[in-house]
């Protein structure tokens, strides 16, 4: 810009410039005066607070002297020492504070921290301090033999101090009251001055603002005419664009021009200058929004090259939830593309392009669903090929029953949010059971989907309000259930078709009969062993599994199914929580390979005991106690008051886990909750025995005659 242009700008806007300068000068004066008065007000507050403390200290000294005399008469040496310590502190505070009022000095404030006490600056306050010193000086001399925790003081010295205190306490109290009153008068005077200055400042600012508005409107009207012409030209161009186009400035606000397609894509009215971030926040998830904020900050900055930033864009095919003008919620997929606008080597704006990618994403999802369906079918074929058709068919029956129970639970109307939370815990237990059985059979598609549902429902439980689960969250559970039905139906259909095809060559022989005649282990024993080895391998551990559960398979089928489900969860817990890594076991003088044992014993009279034992680290009450406090389930006081046995019993509550981190096998606080429900379902009871660093045993005792 040349000199002529600068002069033209100054000439054109000189009135506004003068008004701004006047405003800045007036504002600076007001701020300076306010700052000074505020500073003085802070000093006054300290002085008033400490003068009030002086009143309390004068009373406190007299009280302590009387208590010391009483303790001395009662030969209470501990009381004498305690009172002398308090007297020493009180005298020191009173003396240093009184000196601060007289000379100005750093003293101990009301919060116990050092603070500067300014010297009193009125004639009346100075006279009050002088009168106080006239009483305090001889008083202090009488107190000196008692200070410094001197236990060998003369009773006459104490009696003299008590007599002086009783004679002059009210005088000192009155002087400190008068000092407080005078300091409050000074503070009120300063506050009045501050109010007057503020009124004058507001009047000046209003007059200056009115003047600025008048001259600005005249100039802006002329500029608006030219801007209107430019906007019309830009609008004609943007009306032909099908994508959403707009400029985003460094304040993350929309520019004055945007394509006509933008309001259609975003299902909302768009105005120039709107803040883009609240719009984005309403549409996407919290995590997605936080990532987008960081990404846009990088784009608007100068340090990172645009070619490097582009690959970090988190807003590609992002799911958004929007409400149309009829109040209906629409779920779409949008992609936001960002390009820097550089002017004179500096990023001035970001050009944003919005595209509706719903059709593309839905097509990709359909392809993925087809892949998952194929994966389920392949897993079913592999399971059939392994001659374990009975276990697979049993899994399908159990899963179907669980899904029906979930559907029935969801269909029960409940107005209570807390009842909805109970429903969520009930559903999580059933999903956890499906996940465990799928893991045993190696059906990864069902196990993986169960785990994903579990993770989402855990998030619901952790983030639900104090009143319980919301209706929208219940609706989301129904959507997750639909995904279960799709996978279940696919697996059930393929098993049904292939079962019919292989029916003549694959007779329905009970697993226990087949195992007895072939000499092979029961399929469930094989499954549970394979599951244990898989979990051990995932966690870098070694385990040897021992099963003596022949009596289990002679029990009623309902009990067998429930105990098999319980076994799965207890095995997962044992490998995830109990058995240590080889290095850890060796450091504790244990074999590198852990031992996991399952057995079922007949106790007589129809009574059975089913046990799962591991020789791992045991249940650690302190770790569990720390988890319960950290999660807010117990206060520190409540946790400390409970015994280790009481703490250990809480592992069966929903959401309780002592795992350091959650994975697909454990750590979500669902498993033992589900175990307890299944044990109750067979009218059994659970007994837990554990010794730190030695073992953990879960005993399930039940009857087949009840």
User: Among the ranges 17-21, 389-393, 411-415, 554-558, which has the highest mean pLDDT value?
Assistant: 554-558
Residue 231 confidence (pLDDT):
65
Encode pLDDT of 181-203 as tens digits: 988 888 888 778 777 877 887 77
135 shares a domain with 115 = yes
> What pLDDT, on the 0 to 100 scale, is given for residue 76?
87
pLDDT at 199: 80
According to the model, what pLDDT value does residue 241 have?
Answer: 72
Question: What are 153-171's pLDDT values in tens digits?
Answer: 788 888 888 999 888 988 8
236 belongs to a structural domain: no
Q: Which of 359, 393, 411 is the last residue of a domain?
A: 359
Q: Give the CA radius of gyration of the chain.
A: 40
- Which of 445 and 65 is assigned the larger pLDDT? 65
Residues 255/248, Cβ–Cβ less than 8 Å? yes
Look at the chain and report how many structural domains it folds into: 4
Q: CATH number of the domain that 663 lies in? A: 3.30.565.10
- Taking residue 193's Cβ as centre, other Cβ atoms within 10 Å add up to 15
**CB-based burial, 646-663: b 16+ in 10 Å, e otherwise:** ebbebbbebebbbbeebe
- State the pLDDT at residue 666: 57
Average pLDDT over residues 410-434: 72
Please report which confidence band the pLDDT of residue 382 belongs to, taking 50, 70 and 90 as the band edges. low
Final residue before a domain boundary, out of 453, 472, 506: 506
* Whether 491 contacts 380, CB under 8 Å: yes
Q: Is residue 593 part of a domain?
A: yes
**Percentage of the chain modeled with pLDDT above 90:** 10
Give yes or no: residues 138 and 37 share one domain: yes
With cut-offs at 50, 70 and 90, classify the pLDDT of residue 538: confident
Looking at the structure, tell me whether residues 526 and 547 fall in a common domain: yes
How far apart, in Å, are the Cα atoms of 443 and each of 23, 378, 432, 488? 75, 10, 14, 11
* Domain assignment of residue 231, yes or no: no
Query: Cα–Cα distances in Å, from 120 out to 82, 91, 111, 398, 439?
Result: 34, 21, 21, 86, 81
Confidence band, pLDDT 50/70/90 cuts, at residue 152 = confident
Q: How confident is the model at residue 219 (pLDDT cuts 50, 70, 90)?
A: low
- The reported pTM is 0.42
333 or 461, which is more confident = 333
Q: What is the CATH number of the domain that holds 412?
A: 1.20.120.160
Q: Residue 492 sits in which domain range?
A: 373-506
**Which of 223, 274, 284 has the alpha carbon at shortest distance from 249?**
274
E-only strand ranges, 155-275: 244-249, 254-258
pLDDT digits (tens, 9 = 90+) for 550-599: 888 888 888 888 888 889 889 988 998 889 999 999 999 999 999 999 99
- 480 pLDDT higher than 70: yes
Is residue 439 over pLDDT 50? Answer: yes
pLDDT at 208 > cutoff 80 = no
- Say yes or no: 432 and 449 in one domain: yes
CB atoms within 10 A of CB 370: 10
pLDDT of residue 507: 42
**Is residue 393 a contact partner of residue 383, using CB atoms and an 8 Å limit?**
no
Measured CA distances, 706 to 373, 573, 680, 684 (Å): 44, 30, 13, 10
Beta pairing partners, 248? 254, 350
Buried b (16+ CB within 10 A) or exposed e, 316-342: eebebebeeeeeeeeebbbbbebebee
Whether residue 518 is predicted with pLDDT greater than 50 in this model: the reply is no
Does 445 lie in the same domain as 327? Answer: no
Residues 6+ apart with CB under 8 A from 575: 532, 535, 536, 539, 541, 543, 596, 614, 665
57 part of a folded domain: yes
CA–CA gap between residue 103 and residue 242 (Å, rounded): 78
Q: Give how far Cα 102 sits from Cα of 47, 107, 458, 529, Å.
A: 12, 12, 66, 86
pLDDT recorded at residue 499: 66
User: For residues 648 and 697, is the Cβ–Cβ distance under 8 A?
Assistant: no
Query: Is the torsion defined by CA of 39, 43, 48, 49 positive or negative?
Result: positive
Among 225-229, 579-583, 607-611, the minimum mean pLDDT is found in 225-229
Query: Rounded to an integer, what distance in angstroms lies between the CA atom of residue 84 and that of residue 78?
Result: 10
In the chain, the percentage of residues whose pLDDT exceeds 70 is 79
Q: Is the pLDDT of residue 508 over 50?
A: no
Report the CATH number that the domain containing residue 147 is assigned in CATH. Answer: 1.20.1330
- Tell me which residue of 105, 99, 170, 104 sits closest to 137, measured CA to CA: 99
pLDDT score of 514 = 45
Q: How far is CA 324 from CA 300, 328, 329, in A?
A: 31, 6, 6
Residue 573, classified by CB atoms within 10 Å of its CB into exposed (0-12), middle (13-18) or buried (19+), is buried
Kindly state whether residue 82 falls inside one of the protein's structural domains.
Answer: yes
Contact 609, 573 (CB under 8 A): no
431 neighbors 386 (Cβ within 8 angstroms): no
Residue 506: which pLDDT band, with cuts at 50, 70 and 90?
A: very low
Mean pLDDT score of the chain:
79
CATH (domain of 344): 3.30.450.20
Question: Using the 8-state DSSP alphabet, how is residue 118 labeled?
Answer: P
For residue 520, pLDDT over 60 is answered with: no
Task: Look at residues 451, 460, 560, 572 and name the one whose alpha carbon lies nearest to residue 512.
Answer: 560
Indicate the pLDDT class of residue 600, thresholds 50, 70 and 90.
Answer: very high
Average pLDDT over residues 603-619: 91
Q: 250-254: which pairs have CB atoms within 8 A and are 24 or more residues apart?
A: 250/300, 250/347, 250/348, 250/349, 251/275, 252/276, 252/277, 252/296, 252/300
pLDDT at 697: 93
Distance CA 4, CA 243 (A): 43
Q: Which residues are CB-neighbours of 635 under 8 A, at least 6 positions away?
A: 629
Q: Is position 393 within any domain?
A: yes
Assess whether 457 and 556 both reside in one domain. no
Q: How far is CA 515 from the centre of its chain?
A: 51
Smallest Cα–Cα separation from 423: which of 354, 473, 377?
Answer: 473
β-strand pairing of 329-343 with 346-356: antiparallel
Of residues 630 and 463, more confidence is placed in 630
Residue 291 CA to residue 56 CA, distance in Å, equals 57
Please tell me the predicted confidence (pLDDT) of residue 445. 75
Residues 476 and 384 in one domain: yes
Return the pLDDT at 305.
Answer: 74
Spatial contact of 679 and 686, defined as CB atoms under 8 Å apart? yes
- Kind and range of the H or E element at 600? strand 594-604
475 lies in the same domain as 518:
no
State yes or no: pLDDT of 613 exceeds 80. yes
Q: Is the pLDDT of residue 244 over 80?
A: yes
Helix (H, G, I), strand (E, B) or coil at 455: helix
**pLDDT band, very low/low/confident/very high, at 469 (cuts 50, 70, 90):** low
Domain shared by 340 and 450, yes or no: no
Most confident region among 209-213, 521-525, 558-562 by mean pLDDT: 558-562
Q: What's the half-sphere exposure (Cβ side, CA atoms, 13 Å) at 246?
A: 27
**Higher pLDDT residue, 445 or 403?**
403
pLDDT in tens, 272-305: 888 988 888 888 888 888 888 888 888 887 777 7
Residue 134 has pLDDT above 80, yes or no: yes
Are residues 489 and 584 located together in one domain of the fold? Answer: no
pLDDT of residue 400: 82
Q: For 249-259, what is the mean pLDDT? A: 85
pLDDT tens readout for residues 629-686: 887 888 888 888 888 888 888 888 877 765 555 565 554 556 687 888 889 888 999 8
Q: Are residues 249 and 310 in the same domain?
A: yes
Q: CA–CA separation, 5 vs 8, rounded Å?
A: 5
Q: Indicate whether 490 belongs to any domain.
A: yes
Q: Domain boundary residue among 452, 476, 506?
A: 506
List all residues 6 or more positions away from 86 whose beta carbon is below 8 Å from its beta carbon: 60, 64
Confidence at 380, pLDDT banded by 50, 70, 90? low
Q: Tell whether 181 is covered by a domain.
A: yes
- What is the predicted pLDDT for the residue at 706? 62
Which of the two residues, 458 and 101, has the higher pLDDT score? Answer: 101
First to last CA, the chain: 99
Handedness of CA 402, 406, 407, 409 (dihedral sign): positive
Is residue 383 located within the same domain as residue 272? no
């Amino acid at each position: 810009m040349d000199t002529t242009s600068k002069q033209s700008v100054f000439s054109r806007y000189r009135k506004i410039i003068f008004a701004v300068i006047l405003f800045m000068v007036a504002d600076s004066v007001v701020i300076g005066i306010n700052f000074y008065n505020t500073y003085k007000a802070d000093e006054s507050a300290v002085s008033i607070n400490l003068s009030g403390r002086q009143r309390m200290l004068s009373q406190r000294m007299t009280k302590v002297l009387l208590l010391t005399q009483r303790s001395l008469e009662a030969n209470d040496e501990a009381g004498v020492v305690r009172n002398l310590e308090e007297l020493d502190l009180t005298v020191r505070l009173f003396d240093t504070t009184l000196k601060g009022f007289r000379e100005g000095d750093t003293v101990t404030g009301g919060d116990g921290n050092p603070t500067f006490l300014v010297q009193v600056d009125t004639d009346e306050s100075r006279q009050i301090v002088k009168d106080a010193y006239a009483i305090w000086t001889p008083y202090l001399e009488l107190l000196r033999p008692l200070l410094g925790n001197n236990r060998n003081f003369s009773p006459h010295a104490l009696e003299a101090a008590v007599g002086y205190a009783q004679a002059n306490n009210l005088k000192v109290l009155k002087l400190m009251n008068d000092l407080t009153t005078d300091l409050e008068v000074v503070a009120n005077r300063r506050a009045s001055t501050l109010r007057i200055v503020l009124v004058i400042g507001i009047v000046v600012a209003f007059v200056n603002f009115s003047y600025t508005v008048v001259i600005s409107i005249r100039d802006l009207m002329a500029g608006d005419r030219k801007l209107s012409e430019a906007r019309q030209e830009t609008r004609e161009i943007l009306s032909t664009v099908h994508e959403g186009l707009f400029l985003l400035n460094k304040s993350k606000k929309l520019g004055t021009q945007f394509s006509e397609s933008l309001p259609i894509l975003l299902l909302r009215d768009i105005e120039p200058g709107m803040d883009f971030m609240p719009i984005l926040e309403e549409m996407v998830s919290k995590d997605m929004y936080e990532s987008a904020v960081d990404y846009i900050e990088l784009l608007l900055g100068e340090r990172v090259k645009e070619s490097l930033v582009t690959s970090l864009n988190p807003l590609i095919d992002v799911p958004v939830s929007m409400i149309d003008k009829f109040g209906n919620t629409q779920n779409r997929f949008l992609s936001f593309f960002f390009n820097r606008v550089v002017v004179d080597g500096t990023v001035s704006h970001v050009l944003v392009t919005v595209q509706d990618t719903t059709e593309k994403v839905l097509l990709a999802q359909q392809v993925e669903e087809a892949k998952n369906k194929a994966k389920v079918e392949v897993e079913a074929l592999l399971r059939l090929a392994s001659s374990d058709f009975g276990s697979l068919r049993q899994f399908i029956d159990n899963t179907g029953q669980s899904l029906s129970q979930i559907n029935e639970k969801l269909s029960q109307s409940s107005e209570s949010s807390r009842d909805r939370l109970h429903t969520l815990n009930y559903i999580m237990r059933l999903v956890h059971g499906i996940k465990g059985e799928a893991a045993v059979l190696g059906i990864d598609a069902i196990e993986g989907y169960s785990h994903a549902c579990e993770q989402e429902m855990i998030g619901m439980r952790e983030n639900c309000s104090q009143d319980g689960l919301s209706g929208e969250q219940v609706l989301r559970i129904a959507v997750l259930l639909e995904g279960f039905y799709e996978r279940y139906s696919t697996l059930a259909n393929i098993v049904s078709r292939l079962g019919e095809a292989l029916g003549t060559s694959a007779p329905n022989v009970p697993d226990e009969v087949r195992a007895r005649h072939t000499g092979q282990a029961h399929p469930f024993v094989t499954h549970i062993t394979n599951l244990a080895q898989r979990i051990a391998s995932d966690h870098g551990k070694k385990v040897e599994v021992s099963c003596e559960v022949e009596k289990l398979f002679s029990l009623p089928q309902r009990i067998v199914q429930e105990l098999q489900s319980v076994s799965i969860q207890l095995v997962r817990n044992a490998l995830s929580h109990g058995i240590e890594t080889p290095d850890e076991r060796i450091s504790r003088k244990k074999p590198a390979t852990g031992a996991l044992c399952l057995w079922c014993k007949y106790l007589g009279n129809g009574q059975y005991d089913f046990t799962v034992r591991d020789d791992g680290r045991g249940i650690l009450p302190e770790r569990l106690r720390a988890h319960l406090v950290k999660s807010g389930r117990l206060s520190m006081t409540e946790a400390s008051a409970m015994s280790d046995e009481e703490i250990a019993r809480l592992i069966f509550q929903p959401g309780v886990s002592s795992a350091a981190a959650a994975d697909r096998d454990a750590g979500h606080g669902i498993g033992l909750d589900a175990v307890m429900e299944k044990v109750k379902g067979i009218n059994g009871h659970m007994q837990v025995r554990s010794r730190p660093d030695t073992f953990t045993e879960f005993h399930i005792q039940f009857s087949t005659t009840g």
